C-alpha cells in the first residue's frame, strides 16, 4: 500500500530514462525535502512549547543535511559544474514525514515514530523505483540508497526501543480537553 | 556609417520560478499537524508551475486560521475583515485586472459571515480563484459550530449535538453558476496541487473546496488518515467535468462521500466581468465628450 502511495508522490519523472545525473539530483531533492520538513517541524514545535521533540527534529534536519551534502559532493565530482535538474517540484513527501505527523505536545518517542515513517516511505520508494530503471549505474545508486534507508530505520527503531518504558501517548500529554476561552 | 540595426543583446533568460520563491520569512503558527500546511505547500508549487512573479499576485483573505495565508507568501496580501475577502478581492481585480487574485479563507468566513458575498462574486464571474479551507469547525476561536459542521456534532457551542443541517459548499457554488468547481484534500498532495493550478488557470470565477482537517478540534473521521482511506478521485470514476447536472448530483454527496477532483469546468467559459468592464470602458472612450457636455445625452433632441 505504501509503495503505491510513493509512486503517486512523484510527478513527471520517467524512471526508465533516468540518467545518473538526474538520479543524483532526485536523491538530493529527497534529502532536501526531508531536511526542510524536519526544520519546519522543529519550528512548529518550538512555537507550541514542545521543546524536546523540537530538538529531536532539529537533529534530524542536521542528519538530512549531511546526507544531502554528501550526495551533492558526489554529484559535483562526477558532473562538475553541470546545472541540476529541477527535481524538488516533482516530489511529494518521499522521505519527509507528512505534515500531519507532527502534533503539539508530542513526545520524543512519537517524534521518532514520525521519523521512522519517513525512513520507511523512502525505502519503499527506492524498492518500487528500482525495477523501473534501465540504467545499471542508476540501479546501483538507488540500491545503495535503499540499503541506507534500512540502516536508518534500524537506528531509529533502536532508539524507540530504548524509550519503550517512557510515556509517549498524545492523550497523556493533555491535562484536559481543549475548551473555549 | 553602418545602416544595419545595432545588435541589442537579448535579455538574460529568467530562471524558472520555484516553490521557495513564494515562501515568505514569516513562519506559520498553525497547530502542528494542521491541514493548512499542506495547502500552503501545494499553493507554492501551483504558483511556481504557473510561473507568475510574486509581484503579479494578490492574496486576499478574511479572518480565521486559514486566512493567515497571505502573510506566508511573498505576493501582495491583505488579511482583511471577517467574511469580506470576496468584496475586497473583486475591488482589487477591477482596479488592476492584470493581477492574479487569489482569495483564501475558511468555511465560516466564506459561508457564514461572508456567505452573502459568494453568490454575487459568482454571478459577476470576476476572474479570481477562491480557495476555501473547509474544516467544519471554527478552529481559531476554539471549536464552535461552523456552517459546514455536520448535524449532531458536539462542540463547545453544541454540547448536546448540533440540530442544524450543514451548508453544502459544492452545491452552493454550482447552483449559482460557478464555472470551475473542485474539491481537494491534503491527503493527496499531487492531486491538490494540480487542482489549484487548474483553478488558477481557469478564466473566470473558480472555486476549490479543500477539506483541510483541524487537528485540535476536528473529528477523527475528518483527519488526513481517514481522508486517505475514503477519498474517491472523480477522474477514476469516469466523471465528465463538462457535465453540470452530473456535477450537481455528485455534489449532493458532500459530507458522506469524499470526492476529489474537478466537479465542473465550464467547457465554454463566458466573458469575465473584468473583461466586460474593459470592453465597456473602451466603447465609452470613443464617445467621450467634454465635461460640460456630459449631460447632453439626457436632453431631448
Residues A87/A22, Cβ–Cβ less than 8 Å: yes
Domain ranges of chain A: 2-9+17-164
**Strand partners for B233:** B260
CA dihedral sign of residues A159, A162, A166, A170: positive
CATH of A2-9+17-164, one of 1.20.120.1810, 3.40.50.300, 2.170.190.11, 1.20.1260.10: 1.20.1260.10
Residues of chain A contacting residue B29, judged by C-beta atoms under 8 Å apart: 47
> All domains of chain B, ordered by start, with CATH?
26-269 (3.40.50.970)
Q: With a cut of 0.90, is the ipTM above it?
A: no
Distances (CA, A) of B91 to B114, B232, B263, B276: 16, 37, 28, 15
Residue B131's pLDDT is what? Answer: 98
Rounded to the nearest integer, the mean pLDDT of chain A is 87
Residues B136/B185, Cβ–Cβ less than 8 Å: no
Yes or no, beta carbons of B224 and A86 under 8 Å apart: no
Select from A9, A101, A104 the Cβ nearest to the Cβ of B31: A104
Distance from the first to the final alpha carbon of chain A:
42
Contacts of residue B216, defined as CB under 8 A and 6 or more positions apart, other chains included, come to: A104, A178, B31, B139, B143
| Dist. CA B90–CA B117, nearest whole Å | 10
DSSP assigned state of B155: B
Residues of chain A contacting residue B35, judged by C-beta atoms under 8 Å apart: 99-100
Yes or no, beta carbons of B142 and A180 under 8 Å apart: yes
Reported confidence tier of residue A167, pLDDT bands at 50, 70, 90: low
Least confident of A37-41, A100-104, A176-180: A176-180
Q: Does A173 touch chain B (CB under 8 A)?
A: no
Residues of chain A contacting residue B14, judged by C-beta atoms under 8 Å apart: none
What does the angle CA B256 – CA B229 – CA A99 come to, to the nearest 5 degrees?
Answer: 110
Residue A181 clears pLDDT 90, i.e. is over it: no
Q: At B127, list the grid cell.
A: 476572474
Residue of chain B minimizing CA distance to A180: B142
Residues of chain A contacting residue B44, judged by C-beta atoms under 8 Å apart: none
Residues of chain A contacting residue B33, judged by C-beta atoms under 8 Å apart: 99-104
pLDDT (tens digit, 9 = 90+) per residue, B221-269? 889 999 999 999 999 999 999 999 999 999 999 999 999 999 999 999 9
Select from A8, A11, A45 the Cβ nearest to the Cβ of B32: A45
Residue of chain B minimizing CA distance to A106: B32
Residue of chain B minimizing CA distance to A42: B32
Walking along chain B (301 residues) 10 residues at a time, the average pLDDT comes out as 60 79 95 96 96 97 95 96 96 95 96 95 97 95 94 93 96 98 96 97 98 93 93 96 98 97 98 93 87 83 69
Scored b (16 or more CB within 10 A) or e, A9-20 reads bbeebebeebeb
Q: What is the residue-wise DSSP string for B228-258?
A: HHHEEEGGGGT--TT-HHHHHHHHTTBTTBE
Yes or no, beta carbons of A89 and B35 under 8 Å apart: no
Amino acid at each position: 500500500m505504501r509503495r503505491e502511495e510513493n509512486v503517486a508522490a512523484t510527478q513527471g519523472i520517467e524512471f526508465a530514462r533516468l540518467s545518473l545525473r538526474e538520479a543524483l539530483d532526485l536523491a538530493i531533492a529527497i534529502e532536501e525535502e526531508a531536511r526542510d520538513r524536519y526544520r519546519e517541524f522543529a519550528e512548529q514545535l518550538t512555537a507550541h512549547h514542545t521543546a524536546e521533540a523540537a530538538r529531536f527534529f532539529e537533529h534530524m534536519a542536521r542528519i538530512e543535511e549531511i546526507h544531502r551534502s554528501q550526495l551533492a559532493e558526489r554529484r559535483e565530482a562526477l558532473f562538475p559544474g553541470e546545472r541540476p535538474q529541477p527535481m524538488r517540484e516533482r516530489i511529494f513527501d518521499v522521505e519527509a514525514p507528512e505534515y500531519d505527523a507532527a502534533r503539539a505536545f508530542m513526545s520524543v518517542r512519537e517524534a521518532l515514530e514520525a521519523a521512522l515513517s519517513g525512513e520507511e516511505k523512502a525505502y519503499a520508494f527506492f524498492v518500487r523505483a528500482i525495477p523501473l530503471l534501465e540504467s545499471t549505474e542508476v540501479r546501483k545508486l538507488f540500491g545503495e540508497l535503499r540499503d541506507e534507508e534500512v540502516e536508518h530505520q534500524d537506528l531509529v527503531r533502536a532508539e524507540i526501543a530504548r524509550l519503550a518504558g517512557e510515556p509517549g501517548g498524545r492523550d497523556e500529554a493533555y491535562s484536559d480537553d481543549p475548551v473555549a476561552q | 556609417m553602418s545602416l544595419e540595426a545595432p545588435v541589442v543583446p537579448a535579455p538574460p533568460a529568467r530562471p524558472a520560478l520555484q516553490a521557495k520563491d513564494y515562501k515568505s520569512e514569516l513562519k506559520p503558527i498553525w497547530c502542528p499537524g494542521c491541514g493548512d500546511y499542506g495547502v500552503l505547500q501545494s499553493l507554492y508549487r501551483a504558483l511556481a508551475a504557473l510561473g507568475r512573479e510574486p509581484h503579479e499576485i494578490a492574496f486576499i483573505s478574511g479572518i480565521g486560521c486559514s486566512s493567515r495565508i497571505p502573510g506566508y507568501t511573498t505576493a501582495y496580501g491583505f488579511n482583511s475583515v471577517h467574511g469580506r475577502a470576496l468584496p475586497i478581492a473583486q475591488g482589487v481585480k477591477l482596479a488592476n485586472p492584470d493581477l492574479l487574485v487569489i482569495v483564501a479563507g475558511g468555511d465560516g468566513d466564506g459561508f457564514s459571515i461572508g456567505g452573502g458575498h459568494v453568490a454575487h462574486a459568482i454571478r459577476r464571474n470576476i476572474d479570481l480563484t477562491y480557495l476555501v479551507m473547509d474544516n467544519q469547525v471554527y478552529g481559531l476561536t476554539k471549536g464552535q459550530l461552523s456552517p459546514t459542521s455536520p448535524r449532531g456534532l458536539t462542540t463547545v457551542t453544541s454540547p448536546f449535538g448540533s440540530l442544524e443541517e450543514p451548508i453544502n459548499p459544492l452545491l452552493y457554488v454550482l447552483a449559482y453558476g460557478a464555472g470551475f468547481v473542485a474539491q481537494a484534500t491534503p491527503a493527496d498532495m499531487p492531486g491538490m496541487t494540480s487542482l489549484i493550478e487548474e483553478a488558477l488557470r481557469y478564466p473566470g470565477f473558480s472555486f476549490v473546496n479543500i477539506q483541510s482537517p483541524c487537528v485540535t478540534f476536528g473529528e477523527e473521521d475528518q483527519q488526513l488518515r481517514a481522508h486517505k482511506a475514503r477519498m474517491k478521485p472523480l477522474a477514476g470514476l469516469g466523471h465528465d467535468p463538462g457535465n453540470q447536472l452530473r456535477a450537481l448530483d455528485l455534489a449532493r454527496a458532500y459530507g458522506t462521500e469524499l470526492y476529489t477532483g474537478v466537479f465542473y469546468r465550464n467547457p465554454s467559459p463566458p466573458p469575465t466581468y473584468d473583461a466586460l468592464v474593459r470592453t465597456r470602458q473602451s466603447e465609452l472612450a470613443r464617445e467621450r465628450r467634454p465635461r460640460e457636455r456630459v449631460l447632453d445625452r439626457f436632453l431631448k433632441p
